[in-house]
């Protein structure tokens, strides 16, 4: 005859002893070894097959004075950033060059055509800035010495607010500009 059990008594869970823990550690160690071997084999196969990304850093920008997406922020004169604004290239494409510096964007108002792809190149002359056009998904970072580029098409005419969304100093809250989307004249 067994003794009566109290209402709150539950059977004790099996205790994890050293041998049980060692078994789990060995399983996890085996999984980690298998994952490491698979990673190594995958990377090796990628390099041998030529599908690995280029590590040379070549390419990227066609902009004069910009190499591998980098430029000298103290020498904008040797780049198209010397005259910020929109350009209509000979091949019919549009490019805009924008500089963010000390609580302002250059140009103060960027005028772009409606319905035409525009490649916007943004850089910073001093510190880290943000380049966010309200009402769009355009959100880039302007980094001193680097060029951020993206292509977009503005579908409707109007004026969009452009703000810096990276804290850049005491005048950050005044760093507001605009993008004016106009109907292109024939």
Among 66, 72, 63, which Cα is nearest to 125's?
72
Among 47, 56, 77, which Cα is nearest to 65's?
77
CA distance 96 to 111: 9
Enumerate the domain spans of the chain: 18-57, 80-182
pLDDT, tens digit, 9 for 90 and up, residues 44-61: 998 888 777 665 555 556
Percentage of the chain beyond pLDDT 70 is 90
pLDDT, tens digit, 9 for 90 and up, residues 15-24: 777 777 788 8
Please state which of the four CATH numbers 2.60.40.420, 2.40.50.100, 3.40.1110.10, 3.40.630.30 is assigned to the domain occupying 80-182.
2.60.40.420
Note the pLDDT of residue 114: 94
Note the pLDDT of residue 1: 45
Residues of the chain predicted below pLDDT 70 = 1-8, 53-61, 185-186
Q: What are phi and psi of 24, to 5 degrees?
A: -65, -40
């Amino acid at each position: 005859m067994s003794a009566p059990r109290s209402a709150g008594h539950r059977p004790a869970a099996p205790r994890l002893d050293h041998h049980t823990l060692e078994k789990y550690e060995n399983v996890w160690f085996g999984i980690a070894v298998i994952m490491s071997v698979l990673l190594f084999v995958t990377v090796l196969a990628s390099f041998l097959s030529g599908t690995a990304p280029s590590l040379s850093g070549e390419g990227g920008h066609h902009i004069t004075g910009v190499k591998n997406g980098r430029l000298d922020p103290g020498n904008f004169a040797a780049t198209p950033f010397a005259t910020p604004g929109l350009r209509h290239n000979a091949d019919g494409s549009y490019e805009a060059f924008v500089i963010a510096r000390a609580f302002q964007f250059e140009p103060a108002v960027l005028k772009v055509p409606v319905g035409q792809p525009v490649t916007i190149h943004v850089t910073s002359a001093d510190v880290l800035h943000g380049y966010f056009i309200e009402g769009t998904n355009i959100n880039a970072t302007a980094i001193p010495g680097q060029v951020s580029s993206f292509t977009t098409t503005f579908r409707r005419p109007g004026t969009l607010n452009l703000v810096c969304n990276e804290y850049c100093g005491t005048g950050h809250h005044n760093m507001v500009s605009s993008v004016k989307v106009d109907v292109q004249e024939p």
